[in-house]
Structure 1
């Protein structure tokens, strides 16, 4: 799911930048507000991910159980 959302986030930034130039795409990233498979993704003014979370799960007997969430 991370790669799926990452592709859509980059395409969204490309559309907003109206360009495929990496510098212009990067400049468009802070305005990203994308809701996808992993939740809502936003970036700060430096382009760093806001509210990033890594979720750790355990799978046992066909059941998924949340072990912990690490905020970045």
Structure 2
């Protein structure tokens, strides 16, 4: 399956995706963004569903392979 189009993500989903792609845990992302860890997990799940990926590792692999982070505004 080829993923070439960046799905529409909310601004918060983009922020969370960038931080997770940099290796931060949900708890670390939550602390940095001043939100609850369960909210971070929900954003990660939303991005995973929008990218049609199987799990978090697959999501990050697709994002990195297709260089989607370069297309997103800086955090």
TM-score (norm 1): 0.32
More strand by share: 1
More helix by share: 2
